[in-house]
A and B are shown apart, each in its own frame.
Chain A
Amino acid sequence: MFIVLFYNAMIAITNENLQSLLTRIKQKDEEAFKEFFFIMQPHIFYYIFRFVYNRTIAEDLTQETFIKFWLNADKIDPSKSGKAYLYKIAHNLSINSLKRKSGAEYVSDEHLNTIPMNEASIDFIFMEDEYQKAVNSLPERCRAVFTLCRFDGLEYAEIAEVLGISLQTVKNQMSKALAVLRKRLQNFLN
């Protein structure tokens, strides 16, 4: 069965494990927070990156997300999804950063030629492919819903919590995202 292909790294940590970590973080347990950071950092970094498309900014915002989470740890409700709370902080920071910059810094084909190609800069050069362009063309909320569902494996209910929208809106946005992507990527999917 090809479903094995879609094994999601997120599943490696069970929700019970996560909830017990969150309960300890609420009590300001630094070891638990460290463990939580090592599990969640890749997800949060790439979530932010997919919005801001700038590695340095994404790195800074990832740090800020975890610091804010720690400072507000007393507000964690362990019965709810602490993961959603973390994403909520990351999402708000990304959106604020985008608004400030009036558009993400994409490295387009034209720009690529002007960037000196040395080893140090290789890390930071990044070219969007057709699929990323298609996802980025989605309206902000639609893109957030799709990203959280596809790349972060969040439940619809969690996505609703992150974005502060209703479950029905999540469903609508998800259907819309898939319809738009299918249409835009038609030639690549046949």
Chain B
Amino acid sequence: MTPIIDTHFLIKILQNKASTAEMQSFEKWLNDSDANKEEFGTLVLLWKKVADSPLPPLPDQNLQWGKIYSRMHQIAEEANLTHSVPVIDINSVKQKPVANNASEYGWILKVAAVLIVAVAIPLFFLLTKQKSPVTNTHTTAKVKTETYYTITAGKGERKTILLGDGSLVYLNVDSKLIYPEKFTDSTREVELFGEGYFSITRDVNRPFKVTCSNTVTVVKGTEFNIKSRHDLVRILITKGNVETFQVDSDRGIKLKKGEMITFDEKAGFSKPIKANIDHYLAWRQGKFSFSHTSLQDVMDEISRFYNVDVEFRNPSEKSKIITGVFDADSLEHIFSIISLTLDVKINLEGSKVIVQ
């Protein structure tokens, strides 16, 4: 069978992928006419010339391998710390998009819609302007067309999420991350409920913004922990610099490595303080670290981690204070130490913990 000599066949010849039979047909075709020779000659020249253009030198392979290798191990290590949590790559997660009105942005849209109808545009602009650090300033039309996804780590469950830009988010138990289907050209915005550790890929052109409760934390590429429980938000920086805002303010507070700030609805932001990273990041090592913590808060952490309910038979026990670091691998062990130290009785009945 004689193959059809077309462009694709000639490319095969150029790529040195033709069989002996094909080579023979080709040589026959080439000698058939001068037009064929010319056609092939032009193709050869083009093929060769486009590859002759100068290119920059290759990045040093050993150096680059070193970077990749250490990142691989960093990710593996971090996954191990969070009890071998598999990494969820959002690009490969096929989940149902969250309907906008069900997402946490729903209320903004509803408020905006009502305002447009009832009070008309000027007031609306005032609102969006005030919100500018969180909502994208690109008007509501943009917000409406975006699709959001939610990844939830339930009680007793931790998750690691690989975002589209290569950033990693480690969700602690009983926490939730909302992210858009696609980051925009100008920003990367997510919303956090509960506690998460963020390791953000550097991109100076697209700041990464985490909204949590009434705070917005803006970074270019760094590592930090945000925790929001009972209306108190704690932001702790473990690497690089971040800037954090209250939702309706454009006055940011700059934080650097080792600093922590708290936010409370009533009191607003605290002054940045030097924080004990080991203490606040104990959860990443599978540990509980308590420092002058009330038994109520201790049991609150434990109930999230082990997915158990806690009942205090005697409310006065709630305010007893505990300090110490516990491995989070045995509930019985933690309970026996607390019982001895505080002189309380802790019993596990089914999935319920009774303190008396």
- Residues on A facing B (Cβ under 8 Å): 2-3, 5-8, 11, 30, 34, 37-38, 41-42, 45-46, 49, 55, 59, 62-64, 66-68, 70-72, 75, 96, 99-102, 123-124, 126-129, 131-132, 134-135, 149-151, 153, 155-156, 171, 174-175, 178, 181-182, 185, 188-189
- Residues on B facing A (Cβ under 8 Å): 7-8, 11, 13-17, 42-59, 61, 64-65, 67-69, 71-72, 75, 87, 89, 92, 162, 164, 166, 185, 201, 205-206
What residues of chain B lie closer than 8 Å to A171, measured between beta carbons? 8
> Distance in Å from the Cβ of A70 to the closest Cβ of chain B?
6
Complex: chain A residue closest to B14, CB-CB: A6
The 9 nearest A-B residue pairs measured at CB: A132-B53, A59-B59, A131-B50, A55-B56, A64-B166, A129-B53, A189-B45, A131-B53, A100-B185
> Distance in Å from the Cβ of A6 to the closest Cβ of chain B?
6
User: In the complex, are the beta carbons of B11 and A149 less than 8 A apart?
Assistant: yes
User: In the complex, are the beta carbons of B65 and A45 less than 8 A apart?
Assistant: no
> Distance in Å from the Cβ of A156 to the closest Cβ of chain B?
8
User: In the complex, are the beta carbons of A100 and B46 less than 8 A apart?
Assistant: no
> Distance in Å from the Cβ of A189 to the closest Cβ of chain B?
5
What residues of chain B lie closer than 8 Å to A126, measured between beta carbons? 54-56
Instruction: Tell me, in angstroms, the Cα distance from A96 to B184 when the chains sit together.
Output: 10
Instruction: Tell me, in angstroms, the Cα distance from A67 to B64 when the chains sit together.
Output: 11
The A interface, classified by DSSP as helix, strand, loop or mixed, is: helix
Instruction: Tell me, in angstroms, the Cα distance from A37 to B65 when the chains sit together.
Output: 7
Complex: chain A residue closest to B26, CB-CB: A3
Extra contacts, 5 of them, besides A38-B61, A126-B55, A178-B43 (Cβ < 8 A), are A8-B16, A11-B16, A49-B56, A63-B64, A131-B49
User: In the complex, are the beta carbons of A123 and B166 less than 8 A apart?
Assistant: no
User: In the complex, are the beta carbons of B64 and A189 less than 8 A apart?
Assistant: no
User: In the complex, are the beta carbons of B166 and A70 less than 8 A apart?
Assistant: no
What residues of chain A lie closer than 8 Å to B162, measured between beta carbons? 68, 71
A-B CB pair tally, cutoff 8 Å: 119
Complex: chain A residue closest to B49, CB-CB: A131
13 contacts between A and B (CB under 8 A): A3-B13, A3-B16, A6-B15, A37-B61, A62-B64, A67-B71, A100-B206, A124-B56, A149-B15, A155-B17, A156-B8, A171-B8, A182-B46
Instruction: Tell me, in angstroms, the Cα distance from A185 to B48 when the chains sit together.
Output: 13
What residues of chain A lie closer than 8 Å to B15, measured between beta carbons? 6, 8, 149, 153
Instruction: Tell me, in angstroms, the Cα distance from A6 to B48 when the chains sit together.
Output: 8
Instruction: Tell me, in angstroms, the Cα distance from A62 to B59 when the chains sit together.
Output: 10
What residues of chain A lie closer than 8 Å to B16, measured between beta carbons? 3, 6-8, 11
User: In the complex, are the beta carbons of A181 and B48 less than 8 A apart?
Assistant: no
User: In the complex, are the beta carbons of B50 and A127 less than 8 A apart?
Assistant: no
What residues of chain A lie closer than 8 Å to B55, measured between beta carbons? 46, 49, 126
Complex: chain B residue closest to A55, CB-CB: B56
What residues of chain B lie closer than 8 Å to A67, measured between beta carbons? 68, 71-72, 75, 166
User: In the complex, are the beta carbons of B206 and A75 less than 8 A apart?
Assistant: no
Instruction: Tell me, in angstroms, the Cα distance from A102 to B11 when the chains sit together.
Output: 33
User: In the complex, are the beta carbons of B52 and A131 less than 8 A apart?
Assistant: yes
> Distance in Å from the Cβ of A3 to the closest Cβ of chain B?
6
> Distance in Å from the Cβ of B18 to the closest Cβ of chain A?
9
Instruction: Tell me, in angstroms, the Cα distance from A183 to B230 when the chains sit together.
Output: 68
Given A66-B68, A126-B56, A149-B11, is A71 in contact with B75 using a C-beta cutoff of 8 Å? yes
Complex: chain A residue closest to B56, CB-CB: A55
Instruction: Tell me, in angstroms, the Cα distance from A49 to B57 when the chains sit together.
Output: 11
Residue A5 contacts which of B11, B43, B48, B54 (CB distance < 8 angstroms)? B48
> Distance in Å from the Cβ of A65 to the closest Cβ of chain B?
10
Given A70-B72, A100-B205, A175-B7, is A2 in contact with B44 using a C-beta cutoff of 8 Å? yes
User: In the complex, are the beta carbons of A189 and B42 less than 8 A apart?
Assistant: yes
Given A100-B185, A174-B8, A189-B42, is A150 in contact with B49 using a C-beta cutoff of 8 Å? no
What residues of chain A lie closer than 8 Å to B205, measured between beta carbons? 100-101
Residue B164 contacts which of A5, A72, A96, A131 (CB distance < 8 angstroms)? A96
User: In the complex, are the beta carbons of A37 and B57 less than 8 A apart?
Assistant: no
What residues of chain A lie closer than 8 Å to B87, measured between beta carbons? 71
Instruction: Tell me, in angstroms, the Cα distance from A156 to B42 when the chains sit together.
Output: 22
Instruction: Tell me, in angstroms, the Cα distance from A45 to B8 when the chains sit together.
Output: 26
> Distance in Å from the Cβ of A30 to the closest Cβ of chain B?
8
Complex: chain A residue closest to B162, CB-CB: A71
User: In the complex, are the beta carbons of B185 and A102 less than 8 A apart?
Assistant: yes
What residues of chain B lie closer than 8 Å to A174, measured between beta carbons? 7-8, 11
> Distance in Å from the Cβ of B67 to the closest Cβ of chain A?
6
Complex: chain A residue closest to B72, CB-CB: A70
Instruction: Tell me, in angstroms, the Cα distance from A34 to B17 when the chains sit together.
Output: 28
Complex: chain A residue closest to B41, CB-CB: A189
